[in-house]
Amino acid sequence: MTREALFEQIQQKKSCLCVGLDTDLNRLPKHLLQYSDPIYEFNKRIIDATKDLCVAYKPNIAFYEAMGARGWESLAKTLEYIPETHFTIADAKRGDIGNTSSLYARAFFDTMDFDAVTVAPYMGEDSVKPFLEFEGKWVILLALTSNKGSQNFQFTTQEKNQPLYEKVMRTAMTWGNAENLMFVIGATHPEKFQEIRQIAPDNFLLVPGIGAQGGDLEGVLHHGATDKCGLLINSSRGIIYAGDGIGFAGKAQLSALRLQKVMATTL
């Protein structure tokens, strides 16, 4: 999906919401366990309930690969069920050198046909560039993440008092551009969005941490949005686990709607 096509969807829906499909078999409503593929059944109902309110879906690959072949099958069916109008992100956090990265890229872009994949930048240029070689596909590079452990390394200052996450962003922008490179910036760091926009004024940012992690949605929208929106704001547990009984999909829809209404005031 192109940047313009993504922005068109955002404009039409007045939403930059991304729904994270972090689907855990142990957290599914009990009545779904009667189905032959309860993971897929859950995802299908979440998608039906939220597709008019969001522009993207982000399956976290760990929840599927932990189940082996059965999990990969659930993921493939889920990906096929997501409407073509929606941006799809493989939250895989891959990153390795040379041919290994090329094979990861082929897996997610060619075999599964995701629009984007999250990539860890620690191993540097030759671990990221193979993902950037696929036309029409996106790399979403981990920069400033929403978890507590982000403090361990990402704020470490480099030369000229430059934090590591800033070094990552400035360097990566010489590898890709605003048409194929996004950055992960956690909503739990709302005070950083103004300076991040000075570093990357045009790139889309994937923003986790809204909902269960307590990120500041209004602050992110105010400081992070551009004239082309430039944001994909993710909520996973806060939407898909908003309810845990027969009416879980309706609760998920209400949770997504609350976020979309806030987004509509800015977009």
Per residue in 188-211, pLDDT tens?
777 788 889 999 999 999 999 876
DSSP lists the bridge partners of residue 206 as: 184, 232
Provide the annotated active-site residues: 93
Chain position carrying tokens 């990906």: 79
Q: Which 3 state secondary structure label does DSSP give 254?
A: helix
Tell me the whole-structure pTM to 2 decimals: 0.93
Closest to 185 measured CA to CA, from 221, 134, 132, 160: 221
Instruction: pLDDT band for 255, please (50, 70, 90 cuts).
Output: very high
Assigned CATH class of 3-261: alpha beta
More confidently predicted of 187 and 235: 235
Dist CA 53 CA 79 (whole Å)? 18
Q: Is the pLDDT of residue 146 over 80?
A: no
Instruction: pLDDT band for 160, please (50, 70, 90 cuts).
Output: low
Contact in structure between 173 and 200 (CB atoms under 8 Å): yes
Contact in structure between 126 and 95 (CB atoms under 8 Å): no
Sequence spans of domains, the chain? 3-261
Element (H, E) at 245: none
Q: Is the pLDDT of residue 152 over 50?
A: no
Instruction: pLDDT band for 156, please (50, 70, 90 cuts).
Output: low
By CB atoms closer than 10 A (0-12, 13-18, 19+), residue 56 is buried
Q: Which 3 state secondary structure label does DSSP give 185?
A: strand
Chain position carrying tokens 């046909």: 113
